[in-house]
Structure 1
Amino acid sequence: MSSMQPEGYDLIGDIHGHAEPLRGLLRRLGYRYRDGRFAHPTRQAIFLGDFIDRGPEQRGVLEVVRPMVMDGAALAVMGNHELNALAFHTPDPAAHGEHLRRRSAKNIDQHRAFLDEHEHPEVLDAALEWFWDLPLWLDLGELRVVHAAWDTPALNRITDRVAPGNRLTQPLLEAASRPGTAEQNAVENLLKGIEAELPAGHGFSDKDGHHRRYIRLKWWRYPQGETWRSMFLGPPGVAAKLPEAPLPPDVETGYPDTAPPVFVGHYWMVGEPTPQAANVACLDYSVARDGGRLVAYRWDGEQVLRDDKFDWVERR
């Protein structure tokens, strides 16, 4: 497959250290394991990032995905967990003894599963080196891929800061790790989603029990006529508690319905997989949660996405 143009793409959502569901999904999609890697005779996989943290087989996932990408059987983009890992392990040149991602108890706990499996320096360095090689986004012409949100203004702000292939550089990582910078806003929009601060007096607890005053927005929708509740991207139970008030005028979201289909992960969706819009699909269906799914979309050139092109395996 690596020497020819694929007949179609199989896009695969967040894996989070769950290698066994990944191997099962690849086999279900017709990929076969041979000579140390999975490959399909006529198709190519595209991974949407977040390979690490949470699950029981951190190295196992990388041992599946990395050879596929290196051999041309797959493409991949960076997720926010790979971004966080690079910042966690990169010394901060402006603060002696510190790292670009603070080594707080919370951050160490979130990264613990990866740290436990990458204690040997050579193993850790190999993983981080591969993370540096992951593009922040892919634009394949008729198809787009980014981990959390296709935000054109954000892309434009960092296009001249990325390495060839839309890859992160150390100066960009340093700038993106500084609160309030244009680079931080751009990279976080792409890899963590577009957020807005709730009105005073409103907040909620996320899946990890952390109190939040910012909500993730349905970034593909335009804000005109929408409310905090209708634009909230997250659990329905939380949405019901949010105000029906209009969004502030400085919120800028929207993905044109004439634009190429875009695939994202990141958002811990529940229920039956379905497109979020005619040309937008999230493939993260919470494999890291008991009863979650590892989801794929089998794309064959269609510009209007279809329910029957989703496929998945259940986490057991």
Structure 2
Amino acid sequence: MPAYDIIGDIHGHAEELKRLLEHLGYRRHGAGYRRSDRQLVFVGDFIDRGPAIAEVIAIARATVDAGDGFAVMGNHEYNAIAYHTAVPGEKDSWFREHSPKNLKQHQATLDQLSPNEMADAIAWFKTLPVAKELDGIRVVHAAWRDEKIRLLNETLKSSSRFDADFLAESETTGSELHSAVEEVLKGPELTLPVGHWIVDKAGHKRDTVRFKWYEEPARRTYRGYHLGSDDVPDVAIDAETVDGLTGYPEDAPPVFVGHYWLTGTPTPLAPNVACTDYSVAKGGKLVAYRWDGESVLKAENFKWVENSMK
């Protein structure tokens, strides 16, 4: 049985990444890292926010290229592709708007990568799968949604990967492809009742919240069904908003995600669901899960290092 170490969102924190890899017993192999008896799996979000984005990309890419690991796309990689892809026939128009909000989120990457480095990174991001099934596990950035992953994979097979045609549809609100990107890479969300909202980690006021897509919503409140650390209203869920949600099957392979800015001591979200994003870019931990073939995930298999600024 293969053995994997699944690493959460890095966001340009190369020092923490190197310390975590060494803690896990990996050693330098060229620009990447290697351990002969295990492989690395990255859940995406290599860029934005942190101080050493180019080094993080170099480590992850070299590790994958050498066959010592795998990587899936995060929402920040998808957003970067859209941000840097011009809308054909329209002057100064991009598939991800160059708004103050989007610029702020992407600024660290723009500051740290030269135009050539950025183009090279974008080309690599386009090669990343949106989800990965390995021997015994599944890996996706935000949520494992069978039908939506299938749609993304089929569409990507029939077109140039993440080209203008793909982005034109995936950035069109209401399209099936837009829904697939939103759920698989950004996480499914529930709309709060009228008059309720949250202020998210970036300081933006929102009336939607991420939810525990791997659980059933019956008899839950929005706060109890929320996935993350936002201050969500403790009001009963409107049953119509969650019609058809059945959770992640208990007998399905273990699935690993990132994305959710968790805090505290890492622990499985469910017997076969684990998140490895514990907010290293906000002063938290860079976390890995050490998987050795178990179908029921264990809290003691989480390994981590603290943000070096703490």
How far apart are residue 85 of structure 1 and its match? 0.2
Contact 2:217 2:242 in 1 (8 A): no
Percent same amino acid at aligned positions? 45
Residue 34, structure 1, aligned to residue 26, structure 2: no
Question: Mean Cα displacement is larger for which, 173-182 or 300-309?
Answer: 173-182
The residue matched to 2:274 in structure 1 has which SS? strand
Contact 2:30 2:62 in 1 (8 A): no
Q: Which amino acid aligns with 1:202?
A: H
Alignment length, in residue pairs?
A: 306
Residue 221, structure 1, aligned to residue 215, structure 2: yes
Match of 2:143 in 1: 149
Contact 2:4 2:292 in 1 (8 A): yes
TM-score, with structure 2 as normaliser: 0.94
How far apart are residue 257 of structure 1 and its match? 0.4
Match of 1:269 in 2: 262
The residue matched to 1:162 in structure 2 has which SS? helix
Match of 1:90 in 2: 85
What is the 5 A alignment of 1:166-245?
A: 168-235=162-229, 238-239=231-232, 241-245=233-237
Equivalent-residue separation in structure 2 for 1:32 and 1:162 (angstroms)? 34
Question: Mean Cα displacement is larger for which, 243-252 or 53-62?
Answer: 243-252
The residue matched to 1:148 in structure 2 has which SS? coil
- CA offset digits 1:255-297 (Å, max 9, x no partner): 000100000000000111000000000000000012x100000
Residue 256, structure 1, aligned to residue 249, structure 2: yes
Residue 101, structure 1, aligned to residue 96, structure 2: yes
Change (3 A) 1:60 1:193: same
Which consecutive aligned stretches of 4+ in structure 1 deviate over 6 angstroms post-superposition?
none
Equivalent-residue separation in structure 1 for 2:176 and 2:87 (angstroms)? 18
The residue matched to 2:281 in structure 1 has which SS? coil
RMSD (Å) for aligned C-alpha atoms: 1.8
Equivalent-residue separation in structure 1 for 2:224 and 2:206 (angstroms)? 18
Equivalent-residue separation in structure 1 for 2:196 and 2:264 (angstroms)? 27
The residue matched to 2:111 in structure 1 has which SS? helix
Q: Which amino acid aligns with 1:214?
A: T
Equivalent-residue separation in structure 2 for 1:94 and 1:147 (angstroms)? 32
Residue 304, structure 1, aligned to residue 296, structure 2: yes
Segments of structure 2 that go 5 or more residues without pairing to the other structure are: none
How far apart are residue 170 of structure 1 and its match? 4.5
Contact 1:295 1:311 in 2 (8 A): yes
Contact 2:200 2:206 in 1 (8 A): yes
Equivalent-residue separation in structure 1 for 2:237 and 2:67 (angstroms)? 48
How far apart are residue 227 of structure 1 and its match? 2.6
Segments of structure 1 that go 5 or more residues without pairing to the other structure are: 1-5
Q: Which amino acid aligns with 1:222?
A: E
How far apart are residue 302 of structure 1 and its match? 0.6
Match of 1:74 in 2: 69
The residue matched to 2:120 in structure 1 has which SS? helix
- CA offset digits 1:102-134 (Å, max 9, x no partner): 00011111100000112x322111111110011
Match of 2:46 in 1: 51
Question: Mean Cα displacement is larger for which, 269-278 or 92-101?
Answer: 92-101
Match of 1:294 in 2: 286
Q: Which amino acid aligns with 1:122?
A: N
How far apart are residue 39 of structure 1 and its match? 0.6
Contact 1:226 1:247 in 2 (8 A): no
How far apart are residue 251 of structure 1 and its match? 4.0
